[in-house]
Every structure is written in C-alpha cells, then in structure tokens.
Chain A
Amino acid sequence: MSLFKKEISRRSALKGASAFAGSAIAAPLVFSKGAWAQEFLNDPGDSPTVTLGFNVPQTGAYADEGADELRAYELAVKHINGEGDGGMINTMTPTSLGGNGLLGKRVEYVTGDTQTSADEARSSARRMIERDGVIMFSGGSSSSVAIAQQSLAQDMGVIFMNGLTHSNDTTGKDRRRYGFRHFFNAYMSGLALGPVLADQIGTERRAYHLTADYTWGWTQEESIVNTTEGLGWETVETVRTPLGAGDFSQYITPVLNSGADVLVLNHYGRDMVNSLTQAVQFGLRDREANGQNFEVVVPLYSRLMAQGAGENIAGILGTTNWHWTLSDPGSQAFVASFGQEYGFPPSQAAHTCYCQALLYANAVEMAGTFYPPEVIRALEDFEFDGMGNGPTLYRGGDHQCFKDVLVVQGNPDPTSQFDLLQVVQEVPREQVTYPVDFFEGELGPYEVS
C-alpha cells in the first residue's frame, strides 16, 4: 500500500517543481520589498549620529555671503540638537521638531567650499556624499552652482536643500525631485516689484537693462522685462555684461544718450556693488530724461550688497526674500538668536539656509525615516508658518516655496550700520503665485538606482 493515494506523474512533478521554482524566485522580492526600500545611500542605521553637508562659497566673490550661510547652518544644527534658545523651532507651525536631534540621533555636519563654481561645487558635494556620508546637503549662492548640485542630488539619491538661488530655472526647467528651494525667484521678483514700480516711478518709462551674462541674469532680465512691459514701459536696450566685469563705465555711458529714463541692474554681489556705484558716479540719479527723474532699479537686493554699495543705494527699489527688521515672531526669534550668537543681524542668505535646515529636519521627523523618497513626500505640499515669511507652501509640483515677497528700498536715512534697507511693501503670497506648469520641467523619479 502506498502512502500516497495518488501516484506522482512526471507531468505533476514538473508542474510542482516549476511552481516551487517560481515561488522561490518571487519570494525574496515579496518579502524584501520593505527592506530594500529602507536600504539607501548613507543610511545612518544604528549610528548615534547623522551627518549633514553644508556646501557654501567660502572663497571667491560670494565668500561673505557663504560665511553668513555657514553661521546660519551652525545655528540651525544647534537648535535641532536642543542647544541654544531654539530659535525658530519655537515659532514654526506645525512642527515635529523636539530639539532632540533627528529621529533621536545627534546632528553633526561637514562643510565644503563651492568657490562659486559649478564644477567645484559638484566635486565638493560628491566628497561629502561619498566620503563623509551626508544624508542631506545644502548651500548657495549662485544659481548655476545650485542647478549643478541639484542634478547631482538626483543622480545620487541624496536630498539637496537649495540656499540662495534666484534663477527661474532652479525650480523651472532644471527642477529636480531631490532639490528644494525656499528662496523666491526672479519671476516672483517681477510680480512683486511691478505694482510698486508703477506706483512710485510711473507707467510711462523707458528702461535700459544691464544684465549679468549667465542663467540667473537672463531669467531675471526676462522676468523684469515682461513685468515692466506689462505696465506699459518700453525696453530701450538689454545689454549683457560679463560676470566680474569690474569697471562698468563703458556699459553705463551708452545709457546716458540712449533715451532711457530707468536703468535696471540685473546684477548681484560684487557686480551689483560696482555697477550701481559707477552708475551713481556718472550722475544717473541726478539726471532728468524724458521730463522725468532718472531712476535705477535693482530687482534683487541683499543687505550684504547694500553694505558694499554704501550710500549709493539710498532710495533704490528692489526685492528681497526676507529682512531682519520684520516684526513677526519667527523673524524676531531668529534675529535674536543669530544676533546673540554673532553680534550682528542675519542676511537673507542666512535666513533661507537656516529655514532649509529646519524644514529638512522637520520633514525627517514627519516621515519617521531618513529614507529620501519618504522625506521628499513629507516636504511636498507642506504648509507651514512662523518662519518669517507668513504662511508658506512648499509646492510639490516644482519644489518651490510660495510665500510673501518683500519690496525694499535703500534707506536714505539709516539709523544704524545695519539699517540699510527699508521694507516698502510685503507683497502677499497670492500675488506672486503662478501655475505649476508655467515653467516647463520634470522633477524626475522618487526612487533612484
């Protein structure tokens, strides 16, 4: 008597074997899916610490801005680890941050020098990722540098939180799933500045643009031209100037006889300081043209630049992401914290970098994991307040923050060495929001191999 009621035929044996083989192949995929998902580059695992990378210009034209960004990152790390007065962690809403590091791990950091060069920035970021094992990296202050790092972030699957970058391309055609920008952009500058220009300078104007010849300058020029022509202005000429030209006199003198009555300086950093200083030297601000006072506009301002330009900025209009004189609780908490630590108020570059570090940390706590796709999902469409710019949305479709934008003016009568800009208007977020598909671009996948 057979133990089996049924004899095993060759056919059924083959069927059974193939079914076993099939399940044997499929089983690891089914059982390990979750485990695979948690295996990612630079997973801190059981380590008691986690490392962040701060890649800023420590040498080169933006070194002072980079130094201020680094101060802000150091302060953010302190606050995340529960040291100091907590800064904006106390005012940010909603927040999952408890001042006990990230998911209970103490935050450490490494720094790199971008030298304001896309190649150097990528090399430095790669070193941080491959050698130092950073779980996130962040930094500014140039759009071409930011775009290069964002692209590296996507390739390597490590999140990059942009510092100061103002080009439309960063969250436009060059947007990436692994890159996020808190700072505003050139298009928003145009939207915010337009009505104030119409109000203060008028709608019958002829503008002459001097533009830094790289991605940020081009997108800012395009945005401001669109805005001002929408107001009824005429664009007399748009002239590209080499980055770091130094002496701009040969570009400024043609303005005198061009028939223009407004000079728009699409310059930043050292170029802005030099071109503005020289425009004032050539008497542009004392001139009359077309029966009106000649005006100069600097669409993107920073306090550090204002310091360099000295009294030449008096009365000149522009926009800025944030200013230390804002009276909301978030700004005041940050200014008090930063001022107490370093003895002077923070710049807008410092503010955006500090916010980015806190926003990433908060997203990790919300996600409950360092796994980048989950952190990205936590950041996408995250609505928050209490960080100095009013209610803010981190839009998921392009990873651009939407918040109030400040129109500022060089202070003609400063009361202190830091009182260089005065806020003319806080332009509400609704006025600077544009459709997600306004700029074409693809974010790319959540998971990268």
Chain B
Amino acid sequence: MDAFVLQVLNGLDKGGAYALIALGLTLVFGTLGVVNFAHGALFMLGAFCAVTFNLLLNLSERVEDPNITAFTAYIDQPYLETWLGDFGTQLMDYSVPLSILFTIPVMLAIGLAMERGLIRFFYKRSHAEQILVTFGLAIVLQEIIKSFFGANPIPVSAPDTFVGTAAIGSLIGLGEGVAYPYWRLIYLAFSIVVIAAVFSFLRFTTYGMVVRAGMADRETVGLLGINIQRRFTVVFGLAAIVAGLAGALYTPILPPDYHMGMDFLVLSFVVVVVGGMGSLGGAVAAGFLLGILQSFASMNEVKDLFPGIDQIIIYLVAVVVLLLRPRGLMGRKGVMET
C-alpha cells in the first residue's frame, strides 16, 4: 500500500508538469492552429529564468581565495549578504519562489516576440512546415542557453524550509515509509493552482470568453468586429508564461540544463494527442493520467511481468487511443480525425 501511494504521488507530481506544458501546447493549437515544437524550449527557458534570477540574487564580488595556492583562484562574496546581512541571505534562499515575479514578464515578452517575430508567418502553412520551423527554433534556443550556461545541469535549491520530506504516511494512517519531498508536494499544488487559474481566466472573464468563442468559430467572432488575432497573440504569451512557470518551479526537482525542454516536449505532445488536440480539459486529464501510468509501469513488480514497460507505456497508450479514438479522450469531433 505504501508503494502504491508513493507511486500515485509520483505520477501526480510528474503529471502536473506534463499537464502544464500540454495545457500551453493545446491552447496554442486550439487558438492559432499551430503545432508548436518550441513549447518544450519555453519550459526550459522558464527554468533558466529561475537560474538567472538566482544568479542575479547571488551577484558577488570576487575576492582572492587564500585556500588555493597552485594558481590564482577566486571566491564569490554575494553583494546581498554584504548589504543586507541575514535578510539578504533569506532572499537568496527563496530565489526559486521569488523567481515567479521575474519569470512572468520575461516569458510573456519571449512568447509575444516569438509569436510576432516568427510563428505568425506560418499560420497558413502546413503542420509539417510548422513543426519544422518550431523545432528549428527550439534547437536555436537550446544552443543559445548552452552557450551562456554550459551543458552541465545547474543545481538550484528549494528554500531550506522546504528541504526534506513530509511524513504524509502518518497523516493518512499508513506507515512511516510514506514520506514525500515537501517541494514536490508544493509543485503539485502549484500546478493545480495554475491550471485552475487558466481555466478560470478562460471561463469567467469576458476576455477568456471571447477567446473560447474564437477557438470555436474564428470567422464569426471576427465578423463581430473583434480583433481575435490580437487576443490569440496574448494567449500565446499566456501559454509561454504557463510553460515558463512550470519550468521555473521545477528547478529544485530537476537541475536544469539546456536539453530539458526536449525531454518533456515529446511526452507532452503524446499527452496532448491522448487528451485530444485542442481540448484543454483533455490535456490536463491526460497529463495526470499518463504521469500516474508511467509511475506504476516503473514499479519492479510490473517490470518483472513486462520488462521495459516503463519506457514504452506512454507511447503504448497513445497507440491504443489513436487506434480506438483518433480525436483523443476528450477531443472535439472532427479535430485530427481526417
């Protein structure tokens, strides 16, 4: 039972990241009709927003290191610590949560620049061309990040308060073996809040209502005199923010490197396909579902029965769904069915 609960938590946690990325992907596809293979790169850029913010808070003066005598080496003395003392140390410790404030405007700017500067020229092109150009863009973004930050993963810590594990087993009447890292629980909660916020924005605001109307019938909304294109551009920026936030808060879980976007991109596309292209609810549901399935497939008992199942389970589900229900679990009738 303990192992079961832990794998459910793992699946939900992983599914949270899948769902956030897939949500942005399907928003862009549903509004602009673009298959954006650079969306994983936005997740990676978000993670590097957290890294950059961390570096900014840790800006230091270089002082000579007396401990190294073989050559002249230096150590870093952070300015924040020099200027603000303990408060400066606290700010540095909370760099990841605080990086949200930095990530939102940066990712919005990146999203708008990407849409206006490149993506809009490919609205009327085929999906194959969209995939090629956005994939190329993803590689360019990766290489830019690598040239600045190197190829090695960069460790970013969660605040000290959230280091360690929560004994949730004791809370729910299970054994002490059921303990789960605080930060992963925070990430799960955060992903649910962001998903709820996006849904609320689309459902309960006039702006969101117009966007949804545009997704359903772009021409009619345009005939009503509404500049739906501008709203869709904003939606692209919103999708970039969601992917960026997902990446920024993921940094304490997975030390970011330039390639992390690609690792998530393929899986997220499968999530979108399984959930249904253009279906926001489908993307979220499929994200959590596939996260949980992937976790269970990694259990030794399952792998003993089906060796290697952990590496193919997601694709296996995708094949089955595409065979039985090509529009995906919650996809609209007619979308991607021809």
A interface residues with partner B (beta carbon < 8 Å): 59-64, 67, 237, 239, 242, 244, 246-247, 249-251, 253-254, 256-257, 270, 273-274, 277-278, 281-283, 286, 304-305, 307-312, 332, 335-336, 339-340, 343-345, 415-419
Contact code string B159-171 (vs A, CB < 8 Å = 1, else 0): 0000111000000
In contact, A416 and B73 (Cβ under 8 angstroms): yes
Residue total for B at the interface (Cβ-Cβ under 8 A): 51
Asked if A64 and B253 make an inter-chain contact with CB atoms under 8 angstroms apart, the answer reads no
Contact A308 B152 (CB under 8 A): yes
- Evaluate contact between A246 and B260: CB separation under 8 angstroms: yes
- Digit string of B133-148 for contact with A (CB within 8 Å is 1, else 0)? 0000000000000100
B114 at the interface (CB under 8 A from A): no
Some 29 contacts from A to B, beta carbons below 8 A apart, are A59-B146, A67-B150, A239-B300, A239-B303, A242-B310, A246-B260, A246-B263, A247-B254, A249-B13, A250-B14, A250-B299, A253-B6, A254-B3, A254-B299, A254-B300, A277-B155, A278-B253, A281-B184, A283-B164, A283-B165, A308-B153, A310-B157, A310-B255, A339-B73, A345-B71, A416-B65, A416-B73, A416-B75, A417-B75
Q: Which chain A residues lie closer than 8 Å to B68 at the CB level?
A: 345, 416, 418
Chain A proximity of B189: nearest CB distance (Å): 16
The answer on a CB contact under 8 Å between B260 and A335 is: no
> Please, how many angstroms separate the alpha-carbon atoms of A63 and B65 in the complex?
28
- Select A417's contact among B76, B155, B254, B303, beta carbons within 8 Å: B76
Q: Decide: B73 and A308 in contact? CB cutoff 8 A.
A: no
CA distance A224 to B177 in the complex (A): 27
Residue interface mask B289-306, A partner, CB < 8 A = 1: 000001100111001000
**Nearest CB of B to A221, in Å:** 15
The smallest C-beta distance from B103 to any residue of chain A, in angstroms, reads 20
- Evaluate whether A253 and B181 lie within 8 angstroms (CB atoms) in the complex, with A60-B151, A418-B68 already known: no
Residues 3-30 of B, flagged 1 when their CB comes within 8 A of A and 0 if not, give 1001100110110000000000000000
CB nearest neighbor in B for A270: B153
Is B179 engaged at the interface, CB distance under 8 Å to the other chain?
yes
| Interface positions of B (Cβ within 8 A of A) | 2-3, 6-7, 10-11, 13-14, 65, 67-68, 70-73, 75-76, 146, 150-155, 157, 163-165, 177, 179-181, 183-184, 252-255, 257, 259-260, 263-264, 294-295, 298-300, 303, 310-311
User: Would you give the shortest CB distance from A275 to chain B, in whole angstroms?
Assistant: 11
Report yes or no: B151 in contact with A63, Cβ–Cβ below 8 A: yes
- Known contacts: A270-B257, A304-B152. The answer to whether A253 contacts B3 by CB under 8 A is yes
Residues on B with C-beta less than 8 A from A254 are 3, 298-300
Give the interface centre of B2, B68, B76, B151 by most chain A CB atoms within 10 Å.
B151
A257 in contact with B2 given A250-B298, A307-B152, A336-B70 (CB within 8 Å): yes
Q: Is the CB of A345 within 8 A of B151?
A: no
A282 to B166 Cα, complex, angstroms: 9
Q: Which residue of the partner chain A has the closest CB to B14?
A: A247
A333 shortest CB reach to chain B, Å: 10
Closest residue on chain B to residue A324 by CB atoms: B70
Residue numbers in B under 8 Å from A63 (CB-CB) = 146, 150-151
- Other than A257-B177, A339-B72, A345-B68, give 13 A-B pairs with Cβ distance below 8 A: A247-B254, A256-B2, A256-B3, A274-B255, A277-B255, A281-B184, A286-B164, A307-B155, A308-B153, A332-B70, A336-B70, A416-B75, A419-B67
A237 to B263, CA, bound (A): 27
With both chains docked as a complex, state the minimum distance between the C-beta of A116 and any C-beta of chain B, in angstroms: 10
Given A244-B263, A282-B165, A418-B73, A256-B177 contact (CB < 8 Å): yes
CB of A308 within 8 A of CB of B299, answer: no
CA distance A250 to B9 in the complex (A): 10
CA A308 to CA B154, docked complex, whole Å: 5
In the bound assembly, the distance between CA atoms of A311 and B70 in angstroms comes to: 24
Question: For residue B154, which residue of chain A has the nearest CB?
Answer: A308
- Give the chain A neighbours of B183 by CB distance below 8 A: 281
Q: Given A254-B300, A308-B255, are A61 and B70 also a contact pair (CB < 8 Å)?
A: no
Q: In the complex, are the beta carbons of B3 and A242 less than 8 A apart?
A: no
List B contacts of A244 (CB < 8 A). Answer: 263
Q: Which residues of B contact A60 (CB under 8 A)?
A: 151, 259
Closest chain B residue to A284, Cβ basis? B165
A62 to B150, CA, bound (A): 10
Q: Which residue of B lies closest to A66 (CB)?
A: B151
Whether A64 contacts B71 by the Cβ 8 Å rule is no
Bound-state Cα–Cα, A308 to B146, Å: 15
Residue of A nearest to B294 (CB): A250
User: Chain B residue with minimal CB distance to A60?
Assistant: B151
A257: shortest Cβ distance to chain B, in Å? 5
Q: Is the CB of B67 within 8 A of A416?
A: yes
Q: Which of A64, A274, A419 contacts B254 (CB 8 A)?
A: A274
Looking across the interface, which residue of chain B has its beta carbon closest to that of A253?
B6
How close is A113's CB to chain B, nearest CB, in angstroms?
12
Q: In the complex, which residues of chain B have a beta carbon less than 8 angstroms from the beta carbon of A270?
A: 152-153, 257
Contact of B153 among A274, A281, A286, A336 (CB under 8 A): A274
- Point out the residues of chain A lying under 8 angstroms from B179, CB to CB: 256, 282-283
A63-B151, A257-B2 in contact; A335/B71 too (CB < 8 A)?
Answer: yes
- What separation, in Å, do the CA atoms of A309 and B257 have in the docked complex? 12
Nearest chain A residue, comparing its CB with the CB of B157: A310
List, in ascending order, chain A residues with CB within 8 A of B303's CB: 239
Contacts of B184 in A (CB 8 A): 249, 281
- Complex CA–CA separation, A242 to B311 (angstroms): 7
Q: Which residue of A lies closest to B163 (CB)?
A: A281
Tell me the minimal C-beta distance from B51 to chain A in angstroms: 12
Contact A339 B165 (CB under 8 A): no
What distance in Å separates the Cβ of A112 from its nearest Cβ neighbour in chain B? 17
| Top 3 closest pairs, chain A to chain B, by CB | A339-B71, A63-B151, A310-B155
Q: Are A237 and B67 in contact (CB under 8 A)?
A: no
**Whose C-beta in chain B lies nearest to the C-beta of A419?**
B67
A251 to B11, CA, bound (A): 12
Instruction: Specify which chain A residues have a CB less than 8 angstroms from the CB of B72 in the assembled complex.
Output: 339, 343
Task: Determine which of A251, A277, A332 lies in contact with B298 in the assembled complex, contact meaning CB atoms within 8 Å.
Answer: A251
- Which residues of A sit under 8 angstroms from B294, Cβ to Cβ? 250
Distance (whole angstroms) from the CB of A264 to the closest CB of chain B:
16
* B155, A345: Cβ atoms closer than 8 Å: no
| A249 in contact with B10 (CB, 8 Å) | yes
Chain B hits for A339, CB < 8 A: 70-73
CB-nearest residue of chain B relative to A307?
A: B152
A237 close to B300 (CB less than 8 A): yes
| B76, chain A: closest CB distance, angstroms | 7
* Residues of A close to B3: CB separation below 8 A: 253-254, 256-257
